[in-house]
Amino acid sequence: MTIIMNYRNHLYLVCLLTCFHLAAYAQNKSRITNPVIDQYVKETIKLHQIPGLALAVISKGKVIHQQYYGKASLEQNTPIDDQSIFRVYSTTKLLVAVGIFQLVEQGKLSLKDAIGKYLPHLPKHWKSLKIKHILTHSSGLPDLLRYPSTLTDQALMAKLSQDPLAFQAGNQFRYNQTNYWLLAQIIAKVSGESFENFIFKNQFATAKNQSKNGVLFSSNSTIDIPHRISKYHYDNKAHQFKQTTYNNGPRAHAANGLNISLPAMLEWNKKLDQGSLLKADTKASMLTPFLFANKRDRFLHGWGVYRVNQQPSFGFTGGGVSGFRKFPKEKLTIIFLSSGYKYFPVHNQVINHIAGLVHTQLQDKRQLMDEKTINAFLQQSVPQAINTYRTMKAKNPAHNFEGTINRLGYVFLRSGKLQQATQLFQLNVQEYPTSSNVYDSLGEAYFVAKNYPLAQKNYKKALELDPASDNAKQMLKKIKTYHK
């Protein structure tokens, strides 16, 4: 039985879960299986061809599911287990936020402090920015990812300092890795020790690298670390998974450098919940929304906000492969650590779905419809999947499927399945004829097919609907060089 292919089955399994009273069956201290969650996860892994995954679900302080799936190494055929260490990429930032608030709690800094107070070497036009601005990605600083990671810190700072601020501090949210490079420097300056040692000592009860216990910092995927699994990307041309070789260097440790096992992440979460890392009022301040001047963006102090069936949850994700999420009202936490995917990141989809399995009030019908649509097009022929889609659309005429169909179109386009991609983009044009983006996507499919007249026609329509579309403008210029 497939959970996510049938909404009625989904509800049945939720009832089954309730009848079990969220019972978990212990296999050993690091493996606890909830059968309903386990079935859903296995089906998702199979469909999206996730190489390896570790998952934990904690309800009201009790682990109800902790399980390991797939391979730590596809090359050596070794399994994921409780010793497997995952790079969590930007989920690292949660520990940085906790570290900043630990220093606030100790009275060693204030979020209102200017960053120039601690880092006098910064460019003059940066110094008045507040710690709260770099913590909440509201600084307007230029992003260091624009420049080669091979630059020295001094050379990188020289280049960044020549760029103006993008907007007035506090006005809006713009995700930026420079912010967390500076936070690491501030933590080191204030604490008198390296950023890494401060985190180890204050969040993992040791001042040393804990690699033997499942925690370490490294933003270099090319070095061999015992028990660390590789992140894989799917090469559509070679039709196989290949190891990624990201190396952002030590200055990226605060942005994406945490490597951690599931048991170590569970222990960190336990300390956070029990008040060992932060006092209750300090944690509440960290999880208070930052007030952006544009009154539109939403972000906490270092933590993201995610809505599931109109209910707020908070946490963060990283690299398309990790997710840490808390549902405060339900006292539910879900930790997702994986090593890759074939089509697109599914961490948020999985977390949201599992939340709905555990708590019926978190069942999000809209997200379930999108998931069912995705599964239909990945499992069925395009004509069959379109019929499945139309049946759902007829029952839910107000639901907007545009983004989901577009994403699937690009899955096929990247996979070299041009005909299927074109069919999906054509479907989107039929369904959403006033959207510029659907014509832009169909134009791209025709351009790849070298059908330049139809590509031109669709890009012109995209530009007509959105005169500010830079992509449509550029593509129309490009088409002229191919089609005269």
Cβ(229)–Cβ(83) below 8 Å: no
Residue where the block lists tokens 């009625």: 8
Beta strands in 244-367 (DSSP E): 258-261, 304-308, 311-318, 322-327, 332-338, 340-341
pLDDT tens for each residue of 223-237:
999 999 999 999 999
The pLDDT value given to residue 142:
97
In the predicted model, is pLDDT for residue 453 greater than 90?
yes
Cβ(99)–Cβ(135) below 8 Å: no
In the predicted model, is pLDDT for residue 208 greater than 90?
no
**Which fold, 7-89+306-364?**
Beta-Lactamase (3.30.450)
The pLDDT value given to residue 16:
38
Using pLDDT thresholds of 50, 70 and 90, give the confidence band for residue 481: confident
Task: Tell me how crowded residue 88 is: count the other CB atoms within 10 A of its CB.
Answer: 28
Half-sphere exposure of 226 (CA within 13 A, CB side): 6
Half-sphere exposure of 63 (CA within 13 A, CB side): 22
Choices 3.40.50.1400, 3.60.20.10, 3.40.50.300, 1.25.40.10: CATH for 367-482: 1.25.40.10
The pLDDT value given to residue 10:
41
- Return phi, psi of residue 92, to 5°: -50, -35
The pLDDT value given to residue 1:
31
DSSP sequence for 206-249 = -SS-BGGGTEEE--BTTS--TTBPPPEEEETTTTEEEE---B--
Please report, in angstroms and rounded to a whole number, the separation of the first and last CA atoms in the chain: 55
The pLDDT value given to residue 71:
96
CA distances from 201 to 204, 356, 361 (A): 6, 36, 39
Q: What is d(CA 315, CA 362) in angstroms, rounded to the nearest whole number?
A: 16
pLDDT tens for each residue of 281-332:
999 999 999 999 999 999 999 999 999 998 999 999 999 999 999 999 999 9
pLDDT tens for each residue of 387-419:
999 999 999 999 999 999 999 999 999 999 999
Question: Which residue type is seen at 213?
Answer: N
Cβ(254)–Cβ(195) below 8 Å: yes
pLDDT tens for each residue of 98-112:
999 999 999 999 999
Cβ(321)–Cβ(339) below 8 Å: yes
pLDDT tens for each residue of 328-354:
999 999 999 999 999 999 999 999 999
Which residues are CB-contacts of 104 (< 8 A; sequence separation ≥ 6)?
A: 110, 111, 282, 285
CA distances from 14 to 322, 462, 465 (A): 25, 43, 44
pLDDT tens for each residue of 66-115:
999 999 999 999 999 999 999 999 999 999 999 999 999 999 999 999 99
Exposed, middle or buried by CB within 10 Å (0-12, 13-18, 19+), for 333?
A: buried
- Spans of all domains in the chain: 7-89+306-364, 367-482
Task: Tell me how crowded residue 99 is: count the other CB atoms within 10 A of its CB.
Answer: 24
In the predicted model, is pLDDT for residue 243 greater than 70?
yes
pLDDT tens for each residue of 1-60:
333 334 334 433 334 343 333 333 334 567 999 999 999 999 999 999 999 999 999 999
- Structure letter (DSSP) for residue 165: P
Is there a shared CATH topology between the 7-89+306-364 domain and the 367-482 domain?
Answer: no
The pLDDT value given to residue 212:
65
